[in-house]
């Protein structure tokens, strides 16, 4: 029972990350009709936004270490601590949550530049060309990050107050020894909030209404005198921001390295296709479902029955679903039908 | 009988001359090492095979590295179990990839477009992670499959081949496959592979494959069942990849799972696109260009850059070194990515299209009348 409960949490957690990335991917596809293979790289850029922010605020100077008296010892002290004392160290401690404020404008900017500078020219080209050019872009982004930040993963820590584990067993009246890392719980809540926010934005604002209308019938909306293109560009920026946020918050869970984007890209594409191209609900549902499946498949009891199932379960499910439900779970008719 | 410049015979003669004289023209561009030339031939073969699927039918597979890996593993197992002779290894490597291609193609080809790409990618990822984890008894996991002294090699034992002290090397009926003889072996295979692809391109079968690319629906309406054509094209291209993979094992008898990674599949896509998808010699050109520049650029370092730009004033030299430094050495992949994007954006037809444009330009400048728009050197389809 405890093990199952833990796996449910694990699955929801993984699913949250998949759903966030897939959401942006399917949004770009549904609005602009672009198959964006660079989306994983955007996720990675988000994580490195957090790293960069952390680097900026911990910009340090060498000072004499007073605690060591035997010899002259020096330590690095961030300027922020020198200037603001305790407030400064608190800010540094909370660098990951604070970095979201930095990530949002940066990612929005990157998204809009990318759409205006590159993607725009690929609306009318075949999907194969779109895949190829964004694949090239993903390599470029990835290698640039490697040039500047190196090839090794950069560990980033969550704020001290949530760095431990939550006694989650006690909350639900289960075994007291059942604990779960705080940050993962926060990530789960965070992903649900972001997904919810995107849905509210698309369902209950005028902007979202126009975007949904444009997804359904772009031409007619254009004929009504609405500049659909401009809104779609913003939606692309939004998708970039969602990917970036997912990446920035993921930094304490997985130390960012330059190829994490590629690892997630393949998975999130599978998620999108399983959910149905261009379907937002499908992407979220498929994200959580595949996350769950993956975490249950990695239980030792399951692995004992079918060895190696944890490695392939997602792809296996994707293959089966695509073969029996060609449009994915919630795919609409007429989207990418041939 | 009239022999035109584009007849099979002439093309094959030119091709054979170019391939077999590679050690000579390789010297001019500084590529005359057997290792590098072998790489040219092997990747050219891989790209030719990929082109039969992507160039003719337009189905973009992102999982072709699987077949490369399967070919390599099979070949190494043949070396371990039966004989160090390369012939059984490459034959079985090719056949084995054909079997895999049949299974994967049978399932993936039910869908087209992006779904097909994702399905092949999913299969490739499955194969890759299985090779790393559960299939370790067969693939030897992260270390990779290698020869060892204790291998049985039943056929060799049967025919009384002398057992040497060190690890045995691959041979072709006694001819050792190291150095230039290895290259010539690959070259002969490449020539055969090219001939087969030439025949496919110029057959009614090839025509039907291109018909699938231009309009599959219409072709179905005329009464063709397109599926057998697609499946056979997928199998043929998978077998080319398996052949290339087993040749890799021939030149260097070990196989690792990283050969099946999806970046490897991406590389062959790039080669095909760079040279010109759907053309006969485009993929070969692309493979040679990429492997050649990889060899040059990944060997450069900062000190060498300084000496290259040393003819400039000091501050200019520093600026140029600063700009080019991220692109060389380890940064070769950055260069590859940029190249990839530039080709897709500006030259969707690849280098061959670029060459065609340049020749047309010259023809116009010199006053020849260009009758065909965008005529290219190869067999554009």
How many other CB atoms sit within 10 Å of the CB of residue A317? 19
Quick: pLDDT tens for B298-312. 777 777 777 777 777
> 3-class SS at A63?
strand
pLDDT of residue B195: 93
Residues of B in contact with A318 (CB under 8 A): 118-119, 122
User: pLDDT exceeding 70 applies to what percent of chain B?
Assistant: 93
| pLDDT for B260 beyond 90 | no
- pLDDT at A108 exceeding the cut of 60: yes
- For residue A95, which of A61, A60, A57, A59 has the smallest C-alpha distance? A57
Nearest CA in chain B to A319: B119
Find out whether B235 and B98 touch, Cβ atoms under 8 Å.
Answer: yes
A148 → chain B, closest CA residue? B326
A338 touches chain B (CB under 8 A): yes
**Mean pLDDT on B371-378:** 48
Residue A336 confidence (pLDDT): 52
Are B118 and A35 within 8 A, CB to CB?
A: no
Domain ranges of chain A: 2-55+66-324
- Residue with the bigger pLDDT between B126 and B167: it is B126
> Chain B partners of A146 at a C-beta cutoff of 8 Å?
330
Give B258's DSSP letter: G
Q: Which of residues 121-150 of A touch B (CB under 8 A)?
A: 121, 125, 127-129, 131-133, 135-140, 142-144, 146-147
**Residue entry with tokens 């199932």:** A309
Q: Look at B322 and B181; give whichever has higher pLDDT.
A: B181
**Which parts of B4-112 fold into alpha helices (H)?**
8-20, 22-28, 34-57, 65-81, 86-108
Distance from CA of B343 to the nearest CA of A (A): 9
Q: Which residues pair with A166 in a beta bridge?
A: A180
Identify the residue among B66, B112, B115 best suited for mutation to test binding to A, counting A beta carbons within 10 A and taking the highest. Answer: B115
pLDDT band at B203 (very low <50, low <70, confident <90, very high): very high
When the pLDDT of each residue in chain B is averaged and rounded to a whole number, the result is: 83
Rounded to whole angstroms, the Cα distance separating A172 from A168 reads: 7
* Interface residues of chain B, partner chain A, Cβ below 8 Å: 58, 60, 107, 110-115, 117-119, 121-123, 125-126, 129-130, 132-135, 216-217, 262-263, 266, 269, 273, 326, 330-331, 333-334, 336-341, 344-345, 348
Please report which confidence band the pLDDT of residue B375 belongs to, taking 50, 70 and 90 as the band edges: very low
pTM of the model as a whole = 0.83
3-state helix, strand, coil in chain A (%, to 5): 70, 5, 25
The rounded distance, in Å, linking the Cα atoms of A297 and A306 is 9
State the Cα–Cα distance between residues B259 and B47, nearest whole angstrom.
Answer: 15
pLDDT by residue (tens digit) across A227-266? 888 888 889 999 999 999 999 988 888 888 888 887 788 7
Model confidence over A304-324: pLDDT tens digits? 777 777 778 888 888 888 878
- CB-nearest to B126 from A125, A316, A336 is A316
Please give the average per-residue pLDDT across B260-289, as a whole number. 87
Contact A134, A36 (CB under 8 A): yes
Strand partners, B175: B172
Cβ atoms of residues B171 and B153 within 8 Å:
no
Cα(A9)–Cα(A188) distance, rounded to whole angstroms?
9
- Checking if the pLDDT of A335 tops 60, the result is no
Whether residues A131 and B348 touch (CB distance < 8 A) is answered with no
Q: State residue A227's pLDDT score.
A: 86
What is the pLDDT, as a whole number, of residue A295? 87
Q: What is the pLDDT averaged over residues B269-293?
A: 89
Residue A57 clears pLDDT 50, i.e. is over it: yes
Q: pLDDT-based confidence at A107, cuts 50/70/90?
A: very high
| Best residue in A39, A40, A135 for a mutation probing chain B (most B CBs within 10 Å) | A135
Residue B369 pLDDT level (bands cut at 50, 70, 90): low
Q: Using the Cα atoms of residue B127, residue B131, residue B134 and residue B135 in order, give the sign of their dihedral.
A: positive
The pLDDT score that the predictor gives to residue B165 is 65
pLDDT digits (tens, 9 = 90+) for A148-192: 888 888 888 778 777 777 777 777 777 777 778 888 888 889 999
Structural tokens at position A77: 């002290």
Chain A residues with CB-CB distance to B336 below 8 A: 139
From the list A125, A136, A338, the residue facing B113 with the nearest CB is A338
Does residue B380 carry a pLDDT above 70? no
Instruction: Give the C-alpha separation, B277 to B297, whole Å.
Output: 25
pLDDT surpassing 90 at residue B191: yes
- Give the DSSP H/E element, type plus range, for residue A77: strand A74-78
Architecture of domain A2-55+66-324: Orthogonal Bundle (1.10)
Predicted confidence at residue B2, as pLDDT, reads 60
ipTM of the complex in this document: 0.79
Query: Does the distance separating the beta carbons of B216 and A338 come in below 8 Å?
Result: yes
Q: B269 in helix, strand or coil? A: helix
| Chain B residues within 8 A of A35 when measuring between CB atoms | 114
Nearest-neighbour CA in chain A from B98: distance (Å): 20
Q: What pLDDT band is residue B374 in, cutting at 50, 70 and 90?
A: very low
């Amino acid at each position: 029972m405890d093990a199952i409960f833990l796996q449910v949490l694990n699955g929801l957690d993984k699913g949250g990350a998949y759903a966030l990335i897939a959401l942006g991917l399917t949004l770009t596809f549904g609005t602009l009709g672009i198959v964006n293979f660079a989306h994983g790289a955007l996720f990675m850029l988000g994580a490195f936004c957090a790293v960069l922010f952390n680097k900026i605020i911990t910009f340090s100077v060498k000072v004499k270490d007073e605690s060591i008296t035997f010899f002259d010892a020096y330590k690095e002290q961030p300027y922020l601590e020198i200037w603001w004392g305790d407030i400064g160290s608190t800010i540094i401690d909370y660098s990951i949550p604070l970095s979201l404020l930095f990530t949002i404008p940066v990612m929005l900017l990157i998204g809009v530049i990318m759409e205006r500078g590159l993607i725009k020219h690929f609306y009318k080209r075949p999907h194969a060309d779109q895949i190829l050019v964004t694949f090239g872009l993903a390599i470029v982004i990835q290698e640039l990050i490697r040039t500047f930040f190196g090839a090794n993963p950069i560990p980033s820590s969550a704020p001290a107050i949530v760095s431990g584990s939550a006694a989650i067993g006690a909350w639900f009246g289960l075994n007291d020894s059942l604990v779960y890392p705080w940050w993962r719980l926060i990530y789960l809540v965070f992903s649900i909030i972001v997904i919810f926010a995107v849905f509210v934005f698309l369902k209950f604002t005028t902007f979202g209404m126009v975007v949904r209308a444009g997804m359904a019938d772009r031409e007619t909306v254009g004929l009504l005198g609405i500049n659909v293109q401009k809104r779609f560009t913003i939606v692309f920026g939004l998708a970039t921001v969602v990917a970036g946020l997912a990446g920035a918050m993921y930094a304490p869970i997985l130390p960012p390295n330059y190829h994490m984007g590629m690892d997630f890209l393949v998975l999130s594409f599978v998620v999108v296709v399983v959910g149905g191209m261009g379907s937002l609900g499908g992407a979220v549902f498929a994200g959580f479902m595949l996350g769950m499946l993956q975490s249950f498949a990695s239980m030792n009891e399951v692995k004992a029955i079918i060895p190696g199932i944890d490695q392939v379960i997602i792809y296996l499910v994707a293959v089966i679903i695509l073969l029996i439900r060609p449009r994915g779970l919630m795919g609409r008719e007429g989207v990418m039908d041939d | 009988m009239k022999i035109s410049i584009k007849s099979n015979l002439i093309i094959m003669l030119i091709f054979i001359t170019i391939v077999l004289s590679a050690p000579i023209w390789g010297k001019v561009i500084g590529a005359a090492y057997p290792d590098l030339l072998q790489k040219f031939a092997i990747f050219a073969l891989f790209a030719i095979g990929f082109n039969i699927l992507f160039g003719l039918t337009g189905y973009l597979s992102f999982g072709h590295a699987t077949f490369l890996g399967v070919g390599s593993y099979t070949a190494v197992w043949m070396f371990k179990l039966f004989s160090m002779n390369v012939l059984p290894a490459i034959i079985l490597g090719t056949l084995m990839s054909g079997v895999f291609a049949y299974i994967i193609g049978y399932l993936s080809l039910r869908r087209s477009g992006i779904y097909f790409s994702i399905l092949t990618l999913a299969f490739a990822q499955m194969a890759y992670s299985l090779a790393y984890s559960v299939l370790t008894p067969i693939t030897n996991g992260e270390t990779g499959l290698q020869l060892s002294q204790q291998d049985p090699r039943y056929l060799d034992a049967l025919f009384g081949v002398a057992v040497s002290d060190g690890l045995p090397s691959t041979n072709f009926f006694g001819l050792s496959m190291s150095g230039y003889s290895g290259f010539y072996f690959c070259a002969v295979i490449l020539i055969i592979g090219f001939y087969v692809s030439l025949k496919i391109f110029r057959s009614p079968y090839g025509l039907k494959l291109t018909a699938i690319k231009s309009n599959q629906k219409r072709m179905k309406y005329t009464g063709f069942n397109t599926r057998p054509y697609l499946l056979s094209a997928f199998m043929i291209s998978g077998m080319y990849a398996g052949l290339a993979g087993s040749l890799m094992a021939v030149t260097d008898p070990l196989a690792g799972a990283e050969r099946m990674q999806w970046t490897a599949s991406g590389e062959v896509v790039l080669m095909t696109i760079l040279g010109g998808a759907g053309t006969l010699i485009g993929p070969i050109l692309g493979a040679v260009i990429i492997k050649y520049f990889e060899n040059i650029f990944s060997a450069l370092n900062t000190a060498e850059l300084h000496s290259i730009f040393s003819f400039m004033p000091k501050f200019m030299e520093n600026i140029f070194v600063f700009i080019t430094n991220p692109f060389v050495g380890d940064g070769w992949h950055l260069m590859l990515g940029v190249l990839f994007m530039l080709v897709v954006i500006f030259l969707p037809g690849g280098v061959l299209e670029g060459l065609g444009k340049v020749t047309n330009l010259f023809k116009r400048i010199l006053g020849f009348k260009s009758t065909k728009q965008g005529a290219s050197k190869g067999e554009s389809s």
